[in-house]
A and B are shown apart, each in its own frame.
Chain A
Amino acid sequence: MTDPLSPPPRKNPQKRTRVPTRPSHVRSRAALGFAAAAAEGRFMLQTCAECGAVQYPPRDACGSCLSVELNWTDVSPAGRLIADTTVRISTNVYFRERTPWRVGTVRLDIGPSVMCHVHGDVAVDDPVRLSIKLDKSGQGVMFALPQKATPNMEDDPHMREMTCDPKHRRVLITDARNENAPALAQALAEAGASLIFVGEAESWHPYPHRATLEKIANVEIMPLDVTDTASVTELAAEIGGKTDILINNARFVRPGGIMDRGDVIFSRDEMEVNFFGMMRLAQAFGPAMRGRGADGDNSATAWVNILSVYAWSNMPEFGAFSASNAAALSLSQCLRAELLQGGVRVMNVFTGPTEDEWHQPLPPPKVLPAALARAVVGGLKDGLEDVFVGDVAKDLIDRWRAGPKILEREMLDTRGQG
């Protein structure tokens, strides 16, 4: 078992905040497949389409038959730790600050032997579950985990470097008025978040779930309107230095595409909230988060966007909303590049139609607030970058990957039933 992480002490204001450093980020293009797999928490290796050989390390031609048709494929992560060692001295600044650091070799049941980081609860000869995690450089690295979960395993210091666990961290949920705010706050409280700030816009008119939200442990409702730059700046000035995880759940959604609407009023609102809202938040909260990426056990660690899966392919029935989310998805990639310098992860949670008033006439399945909250917290604990929640989102991204143009054509006909 792992020693449980204690609540971090209050910060010593006389000490300089440690500047985030990063492990090596240089990889071959072939090896970037690890980052893609880790982004979704998948365990993938290259597999030769001609002879079926599983490859490690990644390469451009098959090690057995020289075929260049190497496809990243989900494979079994089961293996055994056959050797380990502890690094005590490193020339790399990131590891130098974190030694001793344990590494080892795992022989996978499917063949290859892999150099990897090793969880503290794994001993040599133990069966392991190998996983690919994103490190502070945003690169996919191999991490050997106990085959079965051990108590407090998420508190292993090296594992915590690879994840964005909310335990003992301070979270900002940006939109109290969103129907999913109580479920998000509740899930974060259960995950051990020490403080849950929830931004509230337009406090001059009521909304039904405020009382529920207030009752959740460690919730603090703060004024925040993502369409109002001054409001965003003011809240960042107050709590920007202790926002470890920011969950942007603010969104403006209305049905309708282009000609159904006849004006750009709702589209502007959609852009103001879904696109400019993220940009305002990032300009106000981003710099402090990026600067606090290595600030102890409650360092800044993750930025979460809740986006429509129709950011990938337009759903004409919600056409303008889809477009605003496509813009937000693109902006999130820019944000990812900027926050990466501080080792802060951007996680996009893509959802299909949600169970709320704006999707009421749509047929099920729809994503419930609790399911969305589980996906957010689960994604943080696993340190993911891309999460697809619900059957609709999972199906849509599969179809997008199979052929975006085919999907686009399907979406034209279904008018959103896709």
Chain B
Amino acid sequence: MTTTADPAALLTGLAQSLSSGAVKVVDLTHTLDPDFPVIVLPPEFGQCAGFRMEEVSAYDHRGPAWKWNNFTCSEHTGTHFDAPVHWISGRDLPNNSVDTIPADKFVGPVCVIDCSEGASQNDDFELTPEIITAWEAKHGRIPEDCWVLMRTDWSKRRGDAYLNMREDGPHSPGPTPEAVRLLVEERNVRGFGTETVGTDAGQGMHYTPPYPAHYILHGAGCYGLQCLNNLDRLPPTGALLCTAPLKIKQGTGSPLRVMALVADNGAVS
């Protein structure tokens, strides 16, 4: 369904809806915290730096009237955005880094596929093409250039339950290669996002190709979002996602504040 409305009136209406509460802003971001897990790679590889903060002054001899901090982290720390250049499959694409992605790609519609029940029973729960088509049977076909988020409620996990590391590596839910291919090749999605530490399953290295979400998404110029929070507060369809990464020169990703605009059907506009 399309409405032809005056764009200026549309924006004014949105502003009014935001102020009246008819449209809510849902924060899908975890706090950048030194204790928030980062992906763990074999130790001979370089690692993802966790978030760290050093106080430069706090209204004291180091700066009498002001407080500020220096912080350090990886491009892939906390709730973060993956650009195509993050993966080898996307390294030669045009506009593949956070500074060159067109800004209109940072605001867009979102579909949320609820896998929370399956993930509560199986740490290695897989998002499959069958689950996607079953979701579409209920909510309609996933529109082109749309974000698809896999809800698992994994964001509610704390401490070592989040990465869920075992002797054979981490165990957390994610999509199968076939599911990613369906989203990317047949639905032409803009990107795919998860609540886990990566867009791929914890055991994603054992698929063909290894890390299919990274490989296929970024190879096709699509984006990733991970470590998302509060996905249980989004409707299956109809929300608008705002996902602007920091404009880092040749950046492969960035921590960011992810927000969703959601219609509050209970509110009177």
Q: A residues near B, CB below 8 A?
A: 202-206, 223, 225, 227-231, 254, 263, 265-266, 269, 357
How far, in whole Å, are A5 and B137 apart by their CA atoms in the complex? Answer: 78
Collect the chain B residues with CB atoms within 8 Å of residue A202's CB: 37, 50
How far, in whole Å, are A227 and B38 apart by their CA atoms in the complex? Answer: 15
How far, in whole Å, are A265 and B162 apart by their CA atoms in the complex? Answer: 26
Collect the chain A residues with CB atoms within 8 Å of residue B53's CB: 229-230
For the complex of A and B, 9 pairs with smallest distance between CB atoms: A204-B37, A228-B34, A265-B46, A205-B165, A204-B160, A204-B159, A205-B163, A205-B40, A229-B54
How far, in whole Å, are A228 and B55 apart by their CA atoms in the complex? Answer: 11
The reply to whether the CB of B168 lies closer than 8 angstroms to some CB of chain A is: no
Task: Decide: B37 and A266 in contact? CB cutoff 8 A.
Answer: no
Complex: chain A residue closest to B158, CB-CB:
A204
Task: Decide: A204 and B162 in contact? CB cutoff 8 A.
Answer: yes
The reply to whether the CB of B52 lies closer than 8 angstroms to some CB of chain A is: yes
How far, in whole Å, are A269 and B52 apart by their CA atoms in the complex? Answer: 13
Collect the chain B residues with CB atoms within 8 Å of residue A227's CB: 52
Task: Decide: A229 and B55 in contact? CB cutoff 8 A.
Answer: yes
Task: Decide: B46 and A228 in contact? CB cutoff 8 A.
Answer: no
How far, in whole Å, are A230 and B44 apart by their CA atoms in the complex? Answer: 27
A-B contact pairs, 18 of them (CB 8 A): A202-B50, A204-B35, A204-B159, A204-B160, A204-B163, A205-B40, A205-B163, A206-B160, A225-B34, A229-B52, A229-B54, A229-B55, A230-B34, A230-B53, A231-B35, A263-B46, A265-B46, A269-B47
Collect the chain A residues with CB atoms within 8 Å of residue B160's CB: 203-206
Given the interface pairs A204-B37, A204-B160, the reply to whether A228 lies near B52 with Cβ below 8 Å is yes
Q: Residues 49-73 of chain B: 1 if any A CB is under 8 Å from the residue's CB, otherwise 0?
A: 0101111000000000000000000
Size class of the B contact interface (CB-based, 8 Å): 10 to 19
Collect the chain A residues with CB atoms within 8 Å of residue B52's CB: 227-229
How far, in whole Å, are A206 and B170 apart by their CA atoms in the complex? Answer: 11
Collect the chain A residues with CB atoms within 8 Å of residue B46's CB: 263, 265-266
Collect the chain A residues with CB atoms within 8 Å of residue B50's CB: 202, 228
- In the assembled complex, the CB of A176 is this many whole angstroms from the nearest CB of chain B, namely 14
Complex: chain B residue closest to A225, CB-CB:
B34
How far, in whole Å, are A269 and B160 apart by their CA atoms in the complex? Answer: 23
Collect the chain A residues with CB atoms within 8 Å of residue B43's CB: 357
How far, in whole Å, are A265 and B54 apart by their CA atoms in the complex? Answer: 19
How far, in whole Å, are A230 and B31 apart by their CA atoms in the complex? Answer: 15
Residue of A227, A228, A231 most packed against chain B (CB within 10 A): A228
How far, in whole Å, are A227 and B71 apart by their CA atoms in the complex? Answer: 12
How far, in whole Å, are A206 and B160 apart by their CA atoms in the complex? Answer: 7
How far, in whole Å, are A231 and B34 apart by their CA atoms in the complex? Answer: 9
Collect the chain B residues with CB atoms within 8 Å of residue A206's CB: 160, 165
How far, in whole Å, are A279 and B155 apart by their CA atoms in the complex? Answer: 35
Complex: chain B residue closest to A269, CB-CB:
B47
How far, in whole Å, are A119 and B22 apart by their CA atoms in the complex? Answer: 83
Collect the chain A residues with CB atoms within 8 Å of residue B40's CB: 205
Collect the chain A residues with CB atoms within 8 Å of residue B159's CB: 203-204
How far, in whole Å, are A282 and B8 apart by their CA atoms in the complex? Answer: 59
- In the assembled complex, the CB of B73 is this many whole angstroms from the nearest CB of chain A, namely 12
Collect the chain B residues with CB atoms within 8 Å of residue A225's CB: 34
Identify 9 new A-B residue pairs, CB closer than 8 A, beyond the known A204-B160, A228-B50.
Answer: A204-B37, A205-B40, A205-B160, A205-B165, A206-B160, A206-B165, A229-B54, A265-B46, A266-B46
- In the assembled complex, the CB of A237 is this many whole angstroms from the nearest CB of chain B, namely 15
Collect the chain B residues with CB atoms within 8 Å of residue A223's CB: 35
- In the assembled complex, the CB of B86 is this many whole angstroms from the nearest CB of chain A, namely 17
Q: Residues 159-182 of chain B: 1 if any A CB is under 8 Å from the residue's CB, otherwise 0?
A: 110110100000000000000000
How far, in whole Å, are A265 and B46 apart by their CA atoms in the complex? Answer: 7
- In the assembled complex, the CB of B37 is this many whole angstroms from the nearest CB of chain A, namely 4
Complex: chain A residue closest to B55, CB-CB:
A229
Complex: chain B residue closest to A261, CB-CB:
B46
Complex: chain B residue closest to A208, CB-CB:
B167
Complex: chain A residue closest to B44, CB-CB:
A254
Collect the chain B residues with CB atoms within 8 Å of residue A254's CB: 44
How far, in whole Å, are A225 and B49 apart by their CA atoms in the complex? Answer: 13
Collect the chain A residues with CB atoms within 8 Å of residue B54's CB: 229
